[in-house]
Structure 1
Amino acid sequence: MAAFTSKDVARIAGVSQSTVSYVMTGKRPISERTRKRVLDAMEQLTYEPHSGARALAGRRTQVVGLVVPFGADGQIFGLLPFIETIASSARAHDHEVLLVTADEGSAGLRRLAGRALCDAIIMMDIEEHDDRVPVAAALPVPVVLIGVPADPAGLHCVDLDFETAARMAVDELADTAHDEIVVLGYPASAMERGLNFVGRVLRSARQRARARGVPLTVIEPVEHGQEATAEAVDQLLARRGGGRLGVVLPHNDSIGPILRALRTRDVLPGRDISVIGISPDPQAEESDPAYTNVSEEPRDVSRRAMETLFWLLDPAPGVERPGVDLVAPRLIRRSTVMPIPSN
């Protein structure tokens, strides 16, 4: 007789393998309809979870797995606020953090769950169409995504509301009577990989500019390095005519080099053009010049992701968490946006 597994039950019931686990363990609220489908599938397959496996599944490792982009495209400085906040939240819940690099792909996820190395997983560096997501949805441990893929496969997602962030930047430039907006975009690697926030920012910026009646151009890719930055800035400045030009910088790693390139060309943000960055507040405050920014709120995003993760581990009666939880951005005005003309 064939030995059926929880994966077979999940396939018959049309749910994730983790949902089957939650039905068996009661560690997460499951709707009565879904519970019945799982139980019916178990009965159909005459599936009986091994008692030893159930006992092992009940043990806690007190470890949270964190999948981070430490590969070729990983930027450690942008990751630090996320990692620090996640680690602090884990310690507050008597858990440690185990880092796994995103370049391990689905194999890294299976290793974390298959070897019972952690109680739950936080995944960063989410692509719009990410082949790790369906694998994560089938794992027997809770998984929370920092990022919003096209299909979350039932997983909880927490992120900045990048769509609103882009609209806020466009609105600020439209409200201050700019004649044209240019977005200096992302490096080719981010675009080719389809990182989820890239499309969300660019689509929203274009839609908002059309709604406000302001021409918007995206210059992309904007690569790292002095020569590539200089080329992008020269393309930007070639668009300067007699009107007021506003610039949105959504990729925080490129903001400092672009501001330096403008300075070497004697172009002063706030006097000659306007600049708004989408970046963490400390980066905007410590820049030279300090620039108007829409905050990425990395610590708030990480804090909410961890709240969701521990709710999945120990659901509180009557408490629900949204499937997609977007943190509201804030626009902080500094000196790099030209004031509205007096006449």
Structure 2
Amino acid sequence: MVTSRDVARAAGVSQSTVSYVMSGRRPISAETRRRVEAAIEQLTYQPNAGARALASQRTQVIGLVVPFAPGVDTTGLLPFIETIASCARAADHDVLLVTADEGSAGLERLAGRSLCDAIVMMDIEADDARIPVASALRVPVILIGVPDDSAGLHCVDLDFPLAGRMAVDELAGIGHDRIVVVGHPAEVVKRDVNFVRRFHRGAADAADARRVALHVVAPVPPDRAGIEAVVEQVLAVGGDRPGVVVPNSQAVQPVLQALLDRGLVPGRDLSLVALWPDVAAEAVTPAVTNVSLEPRDVSRRAMQTLFQLLDPEQEPPSELVQLIAPRLTRRRTTLPPS
């Protein structure tokens, strides 16, 4: 079996240098790194996870708690999971997935059995019963989301209040004096997932500042009949040329289709702004004016913060809450300025 000592001998460096190249914990010159990586490839070296864990008191595993519950947009989870896994592998760590329905017991199992070095939690509720448990664990915990009380845990998320303000400002700026927000499924509203309230707060603040009427249609059933009923409510309260905001990513395409089925074309008969990733907004017809969700930027910042907390030689971020700014991109579903 090839060992790190064999790699060091082939590269002409010390065994500790091989370790630093693989962990990224010390700066190594480009030439030395090249020699070590070439030796690793030549010898097809794979570090022994068990031996490494015993030597370092580390598992080299990151626990990721993901939501798989009613109302959750599982497709929207993929950019988060992919980016978190990619960042972990770049730092020579693996990712262990745990579903959020395990609640606090899942967190205690991860930490209590020494299954991971740190935990990333998603699907954070405004008043989340897992937070007190997470804050008492002996491993670092990062929240993707901002609860009402984070109990001293670091949080990274999109700036949802800013996203709400941007969507309403865009519609008010092109002349809409009546704006309708298409809300979320009943399960999401009932659980009080943190980003829903934060987005609505930002939208309401912008509507007050712009002196426009703001209506929220919720909950939004996920089936076709439910979407049809929601669109009827939107048209009833929105007037002749409503401005529509859809922060519920799962509802964007069904709402768009229901409008088109009625002969109403966003960008001609009304305006529609979605809280949606750019790739999704560009892929439909007509292309949707969107406030971007930035899932990969959020995930990268969360992992950067996590590895700062894991490295005793680095200072943790001074701010407990880090918010990633969204971007608004005008496409074809908004009217020209009046």
Q: Report what 1:80 is aligned to.
A: 78
Shift of 1:322: 2.3
Alpha-carbon contact 1:308-1:321 (below 8 Å) kept: no
Worse-matched range after superposition: 211-220 or 72-81: 72-81
Alpha carbons of structure 1 residues 335 and 289: separation in structure 2 relative to 1, 3 Å: same
Alpha carbons of structure 1 residues 281 and 91: separation in structure 2 relative to 1, 3 Å: same
- 1:180-195 superposed matches below 5 A: 180-195=178-193
> How many residues are treated as equivalent by the alignment?
286
Aligned-residue identity in percent: 60
From 102, 105, 121, give the equivalent of 2:119. 121
1:293 aligns to what SS in structure 2? strand
Q: Quick one: which amino acid aligns to residue 307 of structure 2?
A: F
Alpha-carbon contact 2:273-2:288 (below 8 Å) kept: yes
Q: Report what 2:88 is aligned to.
A: 90
Q: Report what 2:214 is aligned to.
A: 216
Shift of 1:229: 0.2
1:309 aligns to what SS in structure 2? helix
From 98, 101, 124, give the equivalent of 1:100. 98
Q: Report what 2:132 is aligned to.
A: 134
Q: Report what 1:298 is aligned to.
A: 295
1:253 aligns to what SS in structure 2? helix
Shift of 1:99: 0.1
From 319, 322, 332, give the equivalent of 1:322. 319
Alpha-carbon contact 1:276-1:292 (below 8 Å) kept: yes
Separation in 2 of the partners of 1:221 and 1:149?
21
TM-score under structure 1 length normalisation: 0.81
From 123, 143, 146, give the equivalent of 1:145. 143
Q: Report what 1:333 is aligned to.
A: 330
Spell out, residue by residue over 1:212-270, the C-alpha distance to the aligned partner (whole angstroms, 9 max, x if none): 1011111111110100000000111123434x410000010110111011111111000
Is 1:284 paired with 2:259? no
Q: Report what 1:169 is aligned to.
A: 167
1:239 aligns to what SS in structure 2? helix
CA RMSD of aligned residues (A): 1.6
1:325 aligns to what SS in structure 2? strand
Alpha carbons of structure 1 residues 186 and 71: separation in structure 2 relative to 1, 3 Å: closer
Q: Report what 1:227 is aligned to.
A: 225
Separation in 2 of the partners of 1:77 and 1:116?
30
Separation in 1 of the partners of 2:163 and 2:264?
26
Separation in 2 of the partners of 1:57 and 1:187?
48
Alpha carbons of structure 1 residues 122 and 317: separation in structure 2 relative to 1, 3 Å: closer
Alpha-carbon contact 2:289-2:329 (below 8 Å) kept: yes
Spell out, residue by residue over 1:284-310, the C-alpha distance to the aligned partner (whole angstroms, 9 max, x if none): 111222100000000000000000000
Separation in 1 of the partners of 2:58 and 2:228?
52
Separation in 2 of the partners of 1:240 and 1:62?
53
Shift of 1:71: 2.8
TM-score under structure 2 length normalisation: 0.82
Q: Report what 2:5 is aligned to.
A: none
Is 1:261 paired with 2:258? yes
Alpha-carbon contact 2:67-2:100 (below 8 Å) kept: yes
Alpha carbons of structure 1 residues 98 and 290: separation in structure 2 relative to 1, 3 Å: same
Alpha-carbon contact 1:164-1:328 (below 8 Å) kept: yes
Q: Report what 1:313 is aligned to.
A: 310
Q: Report what 2:10 is aligned to.
A: none
1:320 aligns to what SS in structure 2? coil
Alpha carbons of structure 1 residues 319 and 109: separation in structure 2 relative to 1, 3 Å: closer
Worse-matched range after superposition: 137-146 or 65-74: 65-74
Separation in 1 of the partners of 2:169 and 2:238?
20
Spell out, residue by residue over 1:175-202, the C-alpha distance to the aligned partner (whole angstroms, 9 max, x if none): 1111210001111111100100010011
User: Gaps spanning 5+ residues in structure 1: where?
Assistant: 1-54
1:129 aligns to what SS in structure 2? coil
Q: Report what 2:68 is aligned to.
A: 70
